[in-house]
Amino acid sequence: MIKKIMSNNYTTNSYFILKGQESVLVDPVGDIAYFRDLLQENHAELKGIIYTHGHYDHIASANELYKEFGCNIYIHEDDMQMLLKPKLNLSGFFGSSFVFEGTEKLVGIKDGESLTVGQLSFKIIHTPGHTPGCICIIYDKAIFTGDTLFKGSIGRTDFPGGSFDVIKKSLGKLKTMNPDFIFHPGHGESGTIGDEVATNPYFE
């Protein structure tokens, strides 16, 4: 099961993935009580949290989640410093100064890594351009694209560490994916990789 949750504060999509009684959250942000209730309703244990990148609108709830659940938190090694430096995670734009407090639970991941979290298995694809450590996460026939790919668009490249030329190369990786894969972005609606390759102007 994959459930999308949209945060009203940041219009960011979070994703709840459930297999048996084990679960993983992708880019969870918002009301911690909601995530707690979601786990209880599904009689599930949270085995890990994966962030597609380190911008504040995706990681804003990381400290509360760490204190509530104490599970490992995974992010690409090139974005690990974003969890620790407000200037990099852009929390100042939201009137905050975010620093992650649970560094002992922080796990760096790499391109091509096969990541197993409990019973759930993921493939990590490094897709920089929006940030240096942006990733896409393949799970079964789904791919979580964070802010690399949106329906009809792509993530901004004008923030520190962003690059339009680099994100174009990252799109080249996505272009080779199974066209039937359902992509789940960090903002907006889901779709298929095949439709994006055919219609998204950034794939030209």
pLDDT at 26: 98
pLDDT at 204: 80
3-state helix/strand/coil string of 9-75: CCCCEEEEEEECCEEEEECCCCCHHHHHHHHHHCCCEEEEEECCCCCHHHHCCHHHHHHHHCCEEEE
- Using 50, 70 and 90 to split pLDDT, how confident is the model at 8? confident
Domain boundaries, the chain: 2-203
3-state secondary structure of 25: strand
Residue pLDDT, tens place only, 172-188:
999 999 999 999 999 99
pLDDT at 136: 98
Do 156 and 53 touch, CB atoms closer than 8 A?
A: no
2-203 belongs to which CATH class? alpha beta
* DSSP state at residue 71: -
pLDDT at 177: 95
147 pLDDT above the threshold of 80? yes
List the structure tokens of 136. Answer: 């896409």
Pairing of strands 106-109, 114-117: unpaired
List the structure tokens of 120. Answer: 């759930």
User: Based on the number of CB atoms within 10 Å of its own CB, is 185 exposed (0-12), middle (13-18) or buried (19 or more)?
Assistant: buried
- Using 50, 70 and 90 to split pLDDT, how confident is the model at 162? very high
pTM: 0.97
pLDDT at 7: 86
φ/ψ bin of 187: left (φ > 0), alpha (ψ from -120 to 50), beta (otherwise): beta
pLDDT at 134: 98
Core vs surface per residue 29-60: b (16+ CB within 10 A) or e? bbeeeebeebbeeeebebbbbbbbbbbbbbbb
pLDDT at 57: 95
Do 2 and 142 touch, CB atoms closer than 8 A?
A: yes
Q: Which residues pair with 146 in a beta bridge?
A: 185
Residue pLDDT, tens place only, 17-75:
999 999 999 999 999 999 999 999 999 999 999 999 999 999 999 999 999 999 999 99
Sign of CA dihedral 42, 34, 66, 57: positive
Do 59 and 51 touch, CB atoms closer than 8 A?
A: yes
Residue pLDDT, tens place only, 76-135:
999 999 999 999 999 998 889 999 999 999 999 999 999 999 999 999 999 999 999 999
List the structure tokens of 102. Answer: 């649970």
